[in-house]
């Protein structure tokens, strides 16, 4: 816990939602480190289900029965790997799948499986349990609207689709993978945005009481500092004089 932050309250939940490529994961990871909070990347849960389902399928489509059965039965957990800090690793049925779930194909399949109501229902309790393990920051699409509508603080990150595609491109390159051309990545991001925000169940949406932060022209450090200052200001308010 940041020693300058005198938080008396326990069980704080902070929600960070927003579309793909707004920097949610990096921002949440750094913010959690600075504040000593638990970081929960809820997108990784949908990605892990998509990855497991894809491994049992030939095509590039995951049907609802398969995805829901996996979401109900798979054992998903986050663990810190001391050799691979600071990344929080995700394990599915005992195997570390972290390195396989960030490809463009799994991104699209994760978006598809996340539109299935039974998948969302199966992962809801898990997300709430993870968020209630201690002070935590959860990132996703519906944290502030569905998973933790009473979260202490909510943020909604945005950025232009060009900037988001550019960030994804750099991320894929940095991870040593093949990166499709920027124009293709932009199309994929826009397709995923549409899919995530137009689905019937828990669509990507800003909670009414969330603070929007447009990160298009901000550096990662600026975004983290903006959120950190806001959080500290919020929790330093004291009702006792
Ligand atoms: O945040 P991400 O790009 O890793 O998420 C992958 C997909 O999972 C995303 O396209 C939509 C879905 N998702 C969701 O529906 N709800 C969440 N809370 C998190 C992710």
Q: Looking at residue 47, what is its pLDDT?
A: 97
Among 35, 54, 160, which Cα is nearest to 110's? 54
Mean pLDDT score, 134-154? 96
Domain ranges of the chain: 3-234
Predicted model pTM = 0.91
Residue nearest atom 13 of ligand 1, based on CA coordinates: 43
The answer on pLDDT for 139 being more than 80 is yes
For the chain, percent of residues with pLDDT exceeding 90: 70
Question: What's the Rg (C-alpha) of the chain?
Answer: 17
Q: What are phi and psi of 10, to 5 degrees?
A: -115, 165
Q: Looking at residue 172, what is its pLDDT?
A: 82
Q: Looking at residue 141, what is its pLDDT?
A: 95
Tokens 């020693």 belong to 3
Out of 140-149, 206-215, 231-240, which region has the weakest mean confidence (pLDDT)? 231-240
Q: Which residues line ligand 1 (CB under 6 A)?
A: 20, 42-43, 46-47, 110-111, 114, 140-143, 192, 196
Among 129, 105, 137, 111, which Cα is nearest to 32's? 137
Residue nearest atom 1 of ligand 1, based on CA coordinates: 43
* pLDDT tens per residue, range 109-135: 999 999 999 999 999 999 999 999 989
The two beta strands, 211-214 and 38-41, are unpaired
**Higher-confidence position of 147 and 178:** 147
For residue 201, the CA-to-ligand 1 centroid distance in Å is 13
Range ranked top by mean pLDDT from 86-100, 143-157, 176-190: 143-157
Tokens 């798979």 belong to 74
Q: Please say whether the structural domain 3-234 has been given the CATH code 3.65.10.10.
A: no
**Higher-confidence position of 43 and 11:** 43
Residue nearest atom 8 of ligand 1, based on CA coordinates: 43
pLDDT band at 60 (very low <50, low <70, confident <90, very high): confident
* pLDDT tens per residue, range 11-39: 899 999 999 889 999 999 999 999 999 99
Q: What string of H, E and C letters represents the secondary structure of the chain?
A: CCCCCCCCCCCCEEEEECCCCCCHHHHHHHHHHHHCCEEEEHHHHHHHHHHHHHHCCCCCCCCHHHHHHHHHHCCEEEEECHHHCCCEEEEECCEECHHHCCCHHHHHHHHHHCCCHHHHHHHHHHHHHHHCCCCEEEEECCHHHHHCCCCCEEEEEECCHHHHHHHHHHHHHHCCCCCCCHHHHHHHHHHHHHHHHHCCCCCCCCCCCCEEEECCCCCHHHHHHHHHHHHHHHHHCCCCC
pLDDT band at 82 (very low <50, low <70, confident <90, very high): low
């Amino acid at each position: 816990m940041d020693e300058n932050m005198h938080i008396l309250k326990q069980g704080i939940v902070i929600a960070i939602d927003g579309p793909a490529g707004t920097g949610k994961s990096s921002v949440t990871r750094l913010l959690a480190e600075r504040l000593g909070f638990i970081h929960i990347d809820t997108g990784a849960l949908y990605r892990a289900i998509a990855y497991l389902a894809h491994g049992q399928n030939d095509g590039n489509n995951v049907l609802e029965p398969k995805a829901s059965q996996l979401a109900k039965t798979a054992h998903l957990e986050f663990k810190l790997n001391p050799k691979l800090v600071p990344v929080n690793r995700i394990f599915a049925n005992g195997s570390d799948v972290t390195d396989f779930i960030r490809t463009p194909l799994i991104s699209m399949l994760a978006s598809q499986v996340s539109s299935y109501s039974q998948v969302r229902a199966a992962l809801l309790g898990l997300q709430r349990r993870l968020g209630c393990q201690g002070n935590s920051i959860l990132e996703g699409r519906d944290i502030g609207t569905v998973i933790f509508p009473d979260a202490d603080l909510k943020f909604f990150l945005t950025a232009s689709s060009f900037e988001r595609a550019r960030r994804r491109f750099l991320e894929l390159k940095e991870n040593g993978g093949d990166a499709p051309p920027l124009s293709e990545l932009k199309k994929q991001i826009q397709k995923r945005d549409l899919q995530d925000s137009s689905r019937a169940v828990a669509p990507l949406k800003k909670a009414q009481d969330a603070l929007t932060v447009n990160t298009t022209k901000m550096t990662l450090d600026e975004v983290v500092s903006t959120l950190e200052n806001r959080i500290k200001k919020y929790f330093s308010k004291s009702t006792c004089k």
